[in-house]
Amino acid sequence: MDDKRRFALVGTGNRGTTMWGKDLLAGWRGFVDLVAIADTNALRAERARTMIASNAPIYVDVDTMLTETRPDLVIVCTPDDTHDDIVVKALESGADVITEKPMATTVEKIRRILDAEKRTGRRVDVSFNYRFAPTAARIKELIDAGEIGRVTSVDFHWYLDTRHGADYFRRWHAYTDRSGSLFVHKATHHFDLLNWYLDSDPETVSAFAELQMYGRKGPFRGPRCKLCPHKASCDFYLDIGADPFLDALYEQPAEIDGYYRDGCVFREDIDIPDTMVANIRYRNDVHVSYSLNTFQPIEGHHIAFNGTKGRIELRQFEDQPWETTPEDVILLVRNFPKGQPAVERIKVPHSPGGHYGGDDRMRNMIFKPGIADPLGQRAGARAGALSVLCGISALQSARSGKVVRLADLMPDLFDSGTRPVPQFAAQSSGGRR
């Protein structure tokens, strides 16, 4: 095909090397051509290029890469706090951008990206693959069809297990100035799902968050897992040498930049919370109760939508110490059946590929021409901004003890109809307690 997208991959960690490198070329080679790989660590980039099975040139400088290769698409998979610089440079060079989530980590960085997109006329896509998972799409269809009437509240709880959850505390994600905290880095996915499901803007957030397992709460600590004197007794010990992929991509390359993939989860300078709850009020009067826990014996989530005509509920299992079937079951319960079933169990089989097929469906939407988007699954820069602002607001609320209004952080993203922060007053019990 003469109209292949000429893309550059910036950032060769796990996600860049697999999702946007090897896997993208394997499944969408007829639509894309990798013309450059950029990473500040040349050895990691070389290892990644071998894994991707590409002969694209390697650059350690984004400016030089953009000038010499002139890609028409740049895919950004670098640490979160660096996204804005790379996205803006790519847009100003005339390229469109796909950025991994979160789009940015601060209000100022969000504004830089939005301004550059508007100024250049190019497009930013945010990699919100959860929107494309078949089960998420089916839930969106049920809500939009009015199966439970008007949604009034949502219960949403996400569980990270002691493998996945701990991994964030081994890496740069454990520092607020790099990731914005997991309220931004991880929960941006969840806040975006809520924004998309509810088709509304979040207005106010109140939250609590604490560090209860990792960091200074740990019983001991070492320089890194590989060199730790406590490895025999540490429940979180990671043997990076036992994983050929991680070992090749990170161990020797760490000699260049000092980024060791098996950092101690009990480092005393970790400054992000590991246990988080938030309440969100939406412009359409939906109230959300959300939580994120990072050291559970299970992986997955529970979500329930409460409406004027019924309830939609899902418990999605991703990893747990018991067997499950390769499908999700959405529970649709009606208040007033009137000839319809009072309860429907809607089974959605898991599809192959990452995120139960969501990764593949997202790449199809972006790269294959003519694919309709009736559910609005493709996410742009405003969606990326709103989800990050939810996380920033949650962290700010948890640290200040105050309710935070998103429009106070970034007024230009919202219209003047945004309502004020609600004032809560103590009420007499007035009767039954």
pLDDT band at 21 (very low <50, low <70, confident <90, very high): very high
Domains of the chain, start order:
5-127 (3.40.50.720), 130-214+271-352+378-413 (3.30.360.10), 226-265 (no CATH)
pLDDT at residue 415, rounded to an integer: 77
The rounded mean pLDDT for the chain is 95
The rounded percent of the chain whose pLDDT value lies above 70 is 95
Mean pLDDT of 185-193: 98
Return d(Cα 381, Cα 99) in angstroms, integer: 9
Judge contact between 172 and 259, C-beta under 8 A.
yes
Return d(Cα 344, Cα 219) in angstroms, integer: 48
The rounded percent of the chain whose pLDDT value lies above 90 is 94
Residue type, 333: V
Nearest alpha-carbon partner for 250 in 57, 51, 58: 51
Mean pLDDT of 156-177: 98
Return d(Cα 51, Cα 71) in angstroms, integer: 21
Return d(Cα 140, Cα 197) in angstroms, integer: 6
pLDDT at residue 3, rounded to an integer: 86
pLDDT at residue 430, rounded to an integer: 41
Tell me the three state secondary structure of residue 433.
coil
> Which stretch of 167-181, 269-283, 337-351, 410-424 has the lowest confidence by average pLDDT?
410-424
pLDDT at residue 397, rounded to an integer: 98
Return d(Cα 317, Cα 294) in angstroms, integer: 15
Judge contact between 97 and 74, C-beta under 8 A.
yes
Mean pLDDT of 229-249: 97
pTM assigned to the model: 0.95
